[in-house]
Amino acid sequence: MKTIGIICEYNPFHNGHAHQLHTLATKYPDVLRICIMSGSFVQRGEPALFSKFDRARWAMLGGADVVIELPTLYSLGSAQLFGTGAVRLIKALSIDTLSFGSETTDLNQLIHTAKRMDCESTQNELRNYLNEGMSYGTAFRKALGSESLSTPNALLGLEYIRAAIKYYPNLEYIPIQRTSDHHNHNFNQELPSGTALRHLITTANPLDMYSTLQSTIPTPILADMTHRITNDDYVDYNRYYNMVHMLSRRMNINELERFVDFTEGIEHLWLKAAQQPSWESAIEQIKSKRYTYARLQRMGAYLTLGITKDLINIAMQDGPQYARLLAFNDRGRQWLRTKHDIPLIQKWAKAPTQLNNLGKSMHHIDTLATDIQALCFHNEANRIGHTDYTYTPQYIK
């Protein structure tokens, strides 16, 4: 083993993430830790709370050796698309081992269950449950009849293994026990959830927030994150939701049909809901067992970023076309000199000259995602566009 990949969002970085990196560093001190991190938009279907540049720096301070950006076409996708894109990027970078947090660490059970996911019988049952109006996650849990799918991180772990069976059968795995509740809003536990931390930062009064951050954010990162929060260098989600709502109102049926996940006539319900006074009230009107909050959020992001069905189909077929370097240290510097199957991008402006048409589309979407996230920051001074073009990968000593 020479390299360990960690697929992550760090939205934002907290003690749970530090625990995983510390565990890997302790057990495998000579192995390089390479984070494949979502960029400006994350899988929950909205901009990350902090910029990818801040989150990459925190990942390095938390124990990573290299941080690579997962292109937005994958970071914004369903569990299957997210997992497939990340694993194919790991394969293209010749990373030989994948570590992931999971509520179950029984690797044999995870591999056995992942192998069943594409069996004809499982797929038939999945379609039947979907036809009954169930969400994808619920339908898959019932089709597999497995408790391994009852928790979000285990589901992602299964999707990683499922993708690796198809695209990277030699990949090895190191599951790390996750003990915190993925969606818990409370801080009555040692390792917080990202949901709880985002809720705290966006809603709590400053005194309560800073007191809690001291117990949930690793010491090397605490002062930097606190400074970002004090300076309002994070997303105002009301600005983003208003953007989605405005764009929804200016669409027609034919235009909506082009975007990912707009199927089964939901575009009619979407346009009707767009007449509601806010995006929050609109999404409540559309939400159902089949169209969960997360799925509708992703659909709003696809609309906002202009991600069409045709583009996502090509991205699924061909995989990531580049690896964008965000940060590295001395250990990581040596790895950067090795050869990879895809371009390793360090200068964003020069990237298109190295890319095919799909790569150029990914580059455009990544740039747009960063620009839209920036436009949503609380701090007006940080709402400038094209920061991707002025960013130099951070070298952390």
396 conformational bin, left if phi > 0, alpha if psi -120 to 50, beta if neither: beta
CA dist 258 → 261, 302, 305, 308, 359 (Å): 9, 10, 12, 5, 20
Distance from C-alpha of 51 to C-alpha of 234, rounded to nearest angstrom: 7
> Annotation-wise, does 258 bind a ligand?
no
Q: Is 13 annotated as a binding residue?
A: yes
Confirm or deny that 10 is annotated as ligand binding.
Answer: yes
170 assigned ligand-binding residue: no
16 annotated as a binding-site residue: yes
7 annotated to a ligand binding site:
yes
20 annotated ligand-binding residue: yes
User: Residue 56 burial (CB < 10 Å; 0-12/13-18/19+)?
Assistant: buried
CA distance 297 to 383: 22
Alpha carbon 68 to chain centroid, angstroms: 12
Nearest in space to 106 (alpha carbons), one of 149, 163, 148, 156: 148
- The DSSP symbol for 393 reads -
d(CA 51, CA 35): 16
Which residue carries 């069409």 as its tokens? Answer: 308
The answer to whether 301 is a known ligand-binding residue is: no
E-strand stretches of the chain = 3-8, 32-38, 41-42, 46-47, 66-70, 97-102, 172-177, 323-328, 344-345, 394-395
Residue 19 in marked binding region: yes
Tell me whether residue 22 is annotated as binding: no
User: What whole-number distance in Å separates Cα of residue 121 and Cα of residue 129?
Assistant: 13
Q: From 115, 156, 111, 107, select the one nearest 7 (Cα to Cα).
A: 156
* 178 annotated to a ligand binding site: yes
Tell me whether residue 9 is annotated as binding: yes
Query: Is 15 annotated as contributing to ligand binding?
Result: yes
The binding site comprises 7-20, 101, 153, 178
Please enumerate, by residue number, every residue annotated as part of a binding site for ATP: 7-20, 101, 153, 178
